[in-house]
Structure 1
Amino acid sequence: MNQVSLVGRLAQEPEIFYSKEGKAVAKYRLAVPKMNKKEADFIQCVSFGKTAETIGNYVTKGQQIGVTGRIDTGKYTTREGQTRYYTQVIVPTFTFGAKPQTSSHSTPISEEIPF
């Protein structure tokens, strides 16, 4: 069975484009922490259709998401004739996680609430 579940943060803004058939495609890298939590694996992910559109519209760099999908491997030949190999996760479903913190400065409650 080829199934993988990962939880991590987007390492960059998702790249959204459309196929010749008009189907949305989202490519993004997910930074998944290793057991020591000081290092991460960067996993290339791809989503299609409505999932790709949702990721493109609502997920940003640094946001945590959980993905479920399958590992896909393959190869292609560059214009220079070199063979390149790739590994990626095809993600049909995901869940939203924590959004990135926008500021490290926190305002005391007494300044936020006027009473």
Structure 2
Amino acid sequence: MYNRSVLIGRLAADAELRHTQNDVAVASFTVAANRPYKVDGKDVADFIECVAWRNTAEFVCKHFNKGKPIGVEGALQKRSYEGKDGIKRWTTEIVVDCVFFVGDSKQATNRAPLPDAPPPAASDKSGGAYANGNAVDFEEVDCYEDLPF
């Protein structure tokens, strides 16, 4: 199983940069992504909530503003929180771990992965032989012998 979402759209509003009590940067923003069809001749867009942490949060706030094309990758997450009125609410958002420019070739080649992403959650899986640095399960194959050119 794999939880990965990729969006290409436009920033619906400027990202909101905040800091946690431990001074960790977090940015909340919305990406407007058009659907691949029109209704009554008009584009139909979904407005997807996104959250980015640490350097990625600061990168988004520094390099993107309302209306600018943006590409994001991350995991889809559903979480609950208590509103100011004390009522429990639910939200679905993409926890962004990679942001990239979309548009002209100069921007499209710049890609900003999260360099200090938190480690993935612990898993019950051992990770196989490679996790222990043991590569004995692999052997080198000379695949260039039979090429016709």
Aligned length: 99
Higher relative contact order (CA 8 A, sep 6+): 1
2:33 corresponding residue in structure 1: 32
Larger radius of gyration: 2
Give deviations 1:4-63, integer Å, cap 9, x for gaps: 111000000010111111111111000000111511000000000111111111111111
Equivalent positions of 1:1-115 (< 5 A) are 1-37=2-38, 38-98=43-103
Contact preservation (8 Å) 1:73, 1:88: yes
Structure 2 vs 1, CA of residues 52 and 81 (structure 1 numbering), >3 Å: closer, same or farther? Answer: closer
| Structure 1 unaligned spans of 5+ | 100-115
Shift of the alpha carbon at 1:81? 3.8
By how many angstroms is 1:79 displaced? Answer: 4.4
Question: Cα distance, 1:98 vs. partner?
Answer: 3.0
Compute the RMSD of aligned alpha carbons.
1.4
Residues in 1 aligned to 2:96 and 2:20: alpha-carbon distance in whole angstroms: 17
Task: Give the Cα separation in 1 of the matches to 2:84 and 2:67.
Answer: 34
Opposite residue 65 of structure 2, the aligned amino acid is T
Aligned counterparts of 2:65 and 2:94: Cα–Cα separation in 1 = 19
Give, in whole Å, the separation in 2 of the partners of 1:31 and 1:79.
Answer: 26
| SS in structure 1 of the partner of residue 37 of structure 2 | coil
Amino acid at match of 1:52: A
Inter-partner Cα distance in structure 2 for 1:94 and 1:28: 12
TM-score for the superposition, normalised by structure 2: 0.62
In structure 2, the residue corresponding to 1:29 is in which secondary structure?
Answer: strand
Distance 1:77 1:60 in 2: 28
Compare the two structures and name the one with the higher strand fraction.
1
Report runs of 4+ in structure 1 exceeding 2 Å deviation: 76-83
Aligned to 1:113: none
Give me the whole-angstrom Cα distance separating, in 2, the residues matched to 1:2 and 1:76. Answer: 22
Which amino acid in structure 2 is aligned with residue 78 of structure 1? G
